[in-house]
Structure 1
């Protein structure tokens, strides 16, 4: 009987399918889709349950920013895997990229978050305990609708959160322009040098000044001091150097702020973020006295946040708070003064050990754009060189970064030195292609001066020791820059004037 019923059921089912084949096919397809959807929903639900229990879950937002090179497989939906990493220069990424005016139409809020970072806490009895710590800026997380439930009390931004997210101009200067100390165990610590550097260009571009406030030597010990150096240049004339050297007792600097005092000279950050410069020096040979009183105003958002290069015992740090700036005030020599009113200016900050170090460097305007390029070469890498960087900005801040392999010089210019004539660049070119973006920067040099670094205390960054470089001549140049290229489909074009450095 059971066999007869089973055969009858199969016969009826087959005749139903064959008599209405399209309807049967539609019903089977619908049933299959329903089963598939159910499987997907169950899988998503299981994933959500698992992720809800992850202590390293990063919540809120639509985009997660990760360091370059992180495997996408470390990600889970809405969160990060178990790797402990951070984004280098996170404040720069937040300020100059994610929260910049350029992306204002696409980014409503960028919220920094640290989840599950491994820390070690040492108690009063000397016992070390591993702990897991998390951190975020409450106001930013709240705007992402990702704020955790607060069972008691309040959780709002503190002074550190506010300074990180929304610093005043003065706070920003102090944060990226503060001074440093050599690392413990640093080799050749007597080669440590750190300085504020400014340059100022006259309206007709016929005169300019290089201004340095230098702290040199191992500042952790007794044998170090400070130097004020102002080099005045006039086209087709020999430069004039005005120097004041002081002992460490006459130097004030801080790892917490950008202010520095060297004898009667000083750099002070004003409450509105401008720099007040005062300097006094005498010219070697003539004894003529120079007095300098300037206020330098950096353009908003046009800065380079700073980076430190470490290679073995070598350390070199560099920041540019005033990539595009203006200067007002006066520079007087023997009572005769040049006065400036919102003229082109520039400011950077350098620190590190400089024995055997050379570099390529340039900062220039090109119409609406301001560019910075450079490369530092320690003595232990003299046989090879890394790519240069070219940092491009406009009035809205950071625009693009290029990495040309070389800078092509044409050494068709000759300058006179104490050792005889020296060939130096007459033109230079940097070129790079990165995907659809291109850059060509052409430099035409109309003034150059070469300084022998073997004599000690020669120019900015030089300590009171013999450097023994294979290329001992430090070449400072001034000239015109012409920019061509394209970024994100928009043509780049402009001309302007800048300053450049190399070694020969």
Structure 2
């Protein structure tokens, strides 16, 4: 009887399908879609429940920023729980990317958070304990809607939170521009050098000055000192060098701030974030006296936060607190003074061990844009193997980063040196394509000077040792830059002047 009923049911179902095939197909399709949607909803619900219970995933927000290469599934299963990973240059990412005005229509609030960070605490009696630390900025977490319920007391931003998220301009300068010390175990510590560097360009672009406040040698011991170096350039003429060497007893620098004093010269960060720089010197050869008094005013947000490269015994650090700036004041030689008012200026900060190190570098304006490019090549490294970076900014700060493989030089220019004629660049070009973004930077050099780095303390930070390099000539250039390309659909275009460096 049951078999007869079952057979009848299949017969009715089959005749229903065959008599109304399109209706049956529609019903089956709808049932399949319904089942599929239910499966997806259940999977999403399960994922939400699992993630809500994960101690390594913090709450709030719609996007989580993690270090490049970190797999989220590995992170949630605890595979990386004991590693000291973090977002590199997190302050830069927060201030210049996520909180950048150009993203105001897409990013409502960004909240830096650290959950369950593994740290080791050493107690006063010398016992080391593993602890977990959690950190966040209360105001940002509150704005994100992820602030936990405070059972008692008040949890608001303290001075450290404010310095991290909203530093004053003076605090920002000191953070980026402070001095450093050689690390323990650094080979060739006597080659350590650190300096403030400024350049200033006259309104007609016919004259410019390179200004360096250098601390050189192993500052942890007694064999180190300071140097004030000002090089005055005038197109078509030989540069004039003014040098003052200062013993360590007359040098003041700090790892907490950017202020430095070297003899009668000084760099001081003013409360409004401007730099007051003063220097003196005697010209090599003639003995003519120099006196320099300038105030350099950085353009807000147009800065490079700094990075330190470490490779074996090699350490190189670089920051640009004033990628685009103006200078007002005077540079006097003997009885003649050149006065500047809101002249084009630039300031960077370098530190590291410089034995055998070469680099490619340039900083230029191009209309509304300001660009920085570079690459550092340690001693005994095959040059040209690592790509350069090109850092692009506008009035709102960081705009894009490109990584061209090489600088294409045309060494059609000739300069005279003590060893005879030397071919140096007449033009240069950098080009890169990154997805839909493109960049082409073309340089036309109209002035170049070559310095033999085998002499002691040559230009910017060389040690007092003889260098046996294949490319010992440090070439400093000035010229015009032409920018073209596209970033996120916006056309890049502009011309301007800048300064560039390479080795030959």
What is the TM-score with the length of structure 2 in the denominator?
0.94
Equivalence for 2:93: 93
Alignment of 1:201-212 (within 5 A): 201-212=201-212
Q: Could you list the per-position Cα deviations for residues 433-476 of structure 1 after superposition, in whole angstroms to 9, with x for gaps in the alignment?
A: 22222111111111111111111122011222223222111111
| Partners of 2:56 and 2:75 within 8 A in 1 | no
Does residue 10 in structure 1 map to residue 6 in structure 2? yes
C-alpha distance in 2 between matches for 1:272 and 1:212: 22
Does residue 376 in structure 1 map to residue 372 in structure 2? no
Task: Go from structure 1 to structure 2 and tell me whether the alpha carbon gap of 1:433 and 1:52 turns closer, same or farther (over 3 Å shift).
Answer: closer
Does residue 335 in structure 1 map to residue 335 in structure 2? yes
Equivalence for 2:57: 57
Task: Go from structure 1 to structure 2 and tell me whether the alpha carbon gap of 1:50 and 1:404 turns closer, same or farther (over 3 Å shift).
Answer: closer
| Partners of 2:56 and 2:76 within 8 A in 1 | no
Equivalence for 1:446: 446
C-alpha distance in 1 between matches for 2:438 and 2:48: 44
Equivalence for 2:387: 387
| Partners of 2:198 and 2:211 within 8 A in 1 | yes
Answer with 426-435 or 20-29: which moved more: 20-29
- What is the CA-CA distance between 1:24 and the residue it aligns to? 7.7
C-alpha distance in 2 between matches for 1:334 and 1:195: 26
Equivalence for 2:219: 219
Q: Could you list the per-position Cα deviations for residues 34-78 of structure 1 after superposition, in whole angstroms to 9, with x for gaps in the alignment?
A: 66655555544444443333221211111111222223543669x
Task: Go from structure 1 to structure 2 and tell me whether the alpha carbon gap of 1:41 and 1:106 turns closer, same or farther (over 3 Å shift).
Answer: closer
Task: Go from structure 1 to structure 2 and tell me whether the alpha carbon gap of 1:29 and 1:215 turns closer, same or farther (over 3 Å shift).
Answer: same
| Partners of 2:384 and 2:406 within 8 A in 1 | no
Equivalence for 1:181: 181
Equivalence for 1:245: 245
Task: Go from structure 1 to structure 2 and tell me whether the alpha carbon gap of 1:330 and 1:15 turns closer, same or farther (over 3 Å shift).
Answer: same
Task: Go from structure 1 to structure 2 and tell me whether the alpha carbon gap of 1:215 and 1:27 turns closer, same or farther (over 3 Å shift).
Answer: same
- What is the CA-CA distance between 1:411 and the residue it aligns to? 1.3
- What is the CA-CA distance between 1:8 and the residue it aligns to? 6.3
| Partners of 2:92 and 2:305 within 8 A in 1 | yes
Equivalence for 1:196: 196
- What is the CA-CA distance between 1:389 and the residue it aligns to? 1.0
C-alpha distance in 1 between matches for 2:188 and 2:373: 28
Task: Go from structure 1 to structure 2 and tell me whether the alpha carbon gap of 1:240 and 1:74 turns closer, same or farther (over 3 Å shift).
Answer: same
- What is the CA-CA distance between 1:202 and the residue it aligns to? 0.4
List gaps (5 residues or longer) in structure 1. Answer: none
- What is the CA-CA distance between 1:32 and the residue it aligns to? 6.2
| Partners of 1:56 and 1:81 within 8 A in 2 | no
Answer with 18-27 or 340-349: which moved more: 18-27
List gaps (5 residues or longer) in structure 2. Answer: none
Equivalence for 1:403: 403
Equivalence for 1:257: 257
Q: Could you list the per-position Cα deviations for residues 320-345 of structure 1 after superposition, in whole angstroms to 9, with x for gaps in the alignment?
A: 01111100000011121110000000
C-alpha distance in 1 between matches for 2:475 and 2:38: 72
Equivalence for 1:483: 483
Task: Go from structure 1 to structure 2 and tell me whether the alpha carbon gap of 1:53 and 1:229 turns closer, same or farther (over 3 Å shift).
Answer: same
| Partners of 1:306 and 1:318 within 8 A in 2 | yes
For this pair of structures, how many residues does the alignment match?
A: 499
C-alpha distance in 1 between matches for 2:10 and 2:446: 95
Q: CA RMSD in A?
A: 2.2
Q: Could you list the per-position Cα deviations for residues 196-251 of structure 1 after superposition, in whole angstroms to 9, with x for gaps in the alignment?
A: 00000000011000000000000000110100000001111111111111111101
- What is the CA-CA distance between 1:107 and the residue it aligns to? 0.5
| Partners of 1:268 and 1:276 within 8 A in 2 | yes
Equivalence for 1:284: 284
C-alpha distance in 2 between matches for 1:445 and 1:29: 70
Answer with 94-103 or 60-69: which moved more: 60-69
Does residue 358 in structure 1 map to residue 345 in structure 2? no
SS at match of 1:455: coil
C-alpha distance in 2 between matches for 1:397 and 1:179: 24
| Partners of 1:456 and 1:463 within 8 A in 2 | yes
SS at match of 1:102: helix
Task: Go from structure 1 to structure 2 and tell me whether the alpha carbon gap of 1:324 and 1:20 turns closer, same or farther (over 3 Å shift).
Answer: same
- What is the CA-CA distance between 1:488 and the residue it aligns to? 1.5
C-alpha distance in 2 between matches for 1:414 and 1:40: 70
